């Protein structure tokens, strides 16, 4: 009997060798590591380092290009072929930092690019401030700052000209870390506060456009937060589910009076940012990797983000409460809820048209 807990998209191959090759920035559980190892020692030798990997799979992995490097090694050949054909490439996931940094200062030799912050940190920890200053032709003060900073290791040292450059990037990093913590807390509280009951009730009200869209947007944010909290293979699974729910919401939004659009991601980390203004007047947004998700959505690069970090889930729940207060009552009354939703939808449409 098949194990019910086994993911049908994955096989059981597992990295089992203690004789690892040092390939900076890649993990043995990622396809990119296998590809580069196969290029160095041969496909068959690389395959033998993974318990349960077939020759067919090893040859296929070795034939892939770098677009698939960040997928987990456990995905089956079938799902990898499908995702490559659909151009669903896994987003870059930075390796887990060591001692809060992504450098390798405890190693005797540095193997990565020698124009990066990672190399500057390695020099700083192995040889001191003066060596960094001399290597990069910068002041000892800047060498000290870079060597002790929390900047991304892939950054080019040449891009850091002043104190303000470092402060600005570190501030953004701290803000993102804080936002991630808030997201995790919000989702935990949401699941503690009878979230399953709310989702079930919204499903029962799905004949109403507003209820359906809110249900899908809550699910979109749910998977968005899960993707940021999990590791390896499940990252892409959650991002796929996020896209699936967002597309379902967009299809229904086309029949409604809500304002929604997409814009280019100016930071270049995603293919698009999707925005929607809720009936309460609050704005929520999501980043996405596949433009086909928003192919029927109007584009507007001039509209501005409201600047509120980690506010999506609270805004959605506040909207549910505003359009259908009765949904939170102890005893669920479908007719009463539908009447509230219809009334709110009508009033909102009147406001928009006027």
| pLDDT for 22 | 56
| pLDDT for 74 | 75
Rounded to two decimals, what is the model's pTM? 0.51
Give Cβ neighbours of residue 345 (< 8 Å, ≥ 6 apart): 208, 209, 210, 323
Distance CA 245, CA 155 (A): 34
Do residues 348 and 208 make contact, with C-beta atoms less than 8 angstroms apart? no
Do residues 68 and 36 make contact, with C-beta atoms less than 8 angstroms apart? no
Distance CA 117, CA 254 (A): 46
End-to-end, the C-alpha distance of the chain in Å comes to 62
Each residue's pLDDT expressed in tens, for the chain with a length of 354 residues:
444 444 455 555 566 555 555 555 566 778 888 888 888 888 888 888 877 788 888 898 888 888 787 777 777 788 788 877 777 665 554 444 443 344 444 455 676 788 888 888 888 877 888 888 999 999 988 888 888 877 887 788 998 888 788 878 877 776 666 555 555 555 555 555 557 788 889 999 999 999 999 999 999 988 888 887 766 567 888 888 999 999 999 999 988 989 999 998 876 678 899 999 999 999 999 988 888 899 889 998 777 777 776 678 889 989 999 999 999 888 999 999 999 999 998 888 888 887
Q: Identify the residue whose tokens are 């992995």.
A: 61
């Amino acid at each position: 009997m098949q194990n019910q807990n086994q993911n049908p998209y994955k096989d059981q191959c597992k990295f089992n060798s203690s004789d690892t090759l040092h390939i900076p920035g890649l993990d043995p559980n990622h396809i990119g590591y296998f590809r580069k190892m196969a290029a160095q020692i041969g496909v068959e030798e690389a395959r033998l380092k993974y318990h349960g990997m077939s020759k067919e799979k090893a040859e296929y992995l070795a034939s892939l290009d770098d677009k698939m490097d960040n997928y987990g090694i456990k995905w089956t050949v079938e799902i990898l072929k499908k995702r490559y054909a659909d151009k669903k490439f896994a987003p870059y996931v930075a390796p887990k930092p060591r001692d809060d940094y992504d450098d390798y200062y405890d190693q005797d030799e540095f193997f990565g690019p020698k124009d990066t912050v990672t190399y500057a940190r390695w020099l700083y920890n192995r040889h001191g401030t003066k060596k960094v200053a001399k290597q990069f032709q910068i002041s000892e003060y800047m060498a000290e700052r870079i060597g002790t900073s929390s900047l991304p290791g892939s950054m080019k040292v040449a891009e850091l000209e002043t104190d303000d450059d470092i402060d600005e990037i570190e501030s953004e990093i701290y803000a993102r870390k804080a936002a991630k913590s808030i997201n995790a807390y919000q989702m935990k509280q949401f699941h503690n506060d009878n979230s399953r009951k709310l989702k079930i009730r919204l499903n029962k009200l799905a004949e109403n456009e507003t209820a359906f869209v809110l249900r899908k947007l809550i699910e979109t944010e749910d998977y968005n937060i899960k993707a940021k909290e999990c590791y390896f293979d499940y990252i892409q699974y959650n991002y796929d589910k996020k896209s699936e729910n967002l597309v379902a919401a967009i299809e229904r939004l086309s029949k409604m009076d809500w304002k929604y659009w997409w814009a280019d991601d100016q930071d270049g980390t995603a293919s698009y940012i999707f925005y929607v203004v809720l009936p309460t007047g609050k704005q929520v947004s999501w980043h996405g990797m596949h433009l086909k998700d928003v192919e029927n959505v109007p584009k507007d690069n001039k509209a501005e983000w409201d600047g509120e970090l980690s506010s999506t889930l609270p805004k959605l729940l506040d909207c549910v409460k505003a359009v259908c207060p009765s949904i939170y009552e102890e005893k669920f009354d479908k007719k009463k809820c539908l009447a509230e939703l219809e009334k709110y939808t009508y009033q909102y449409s009147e406001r928009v048209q006027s």
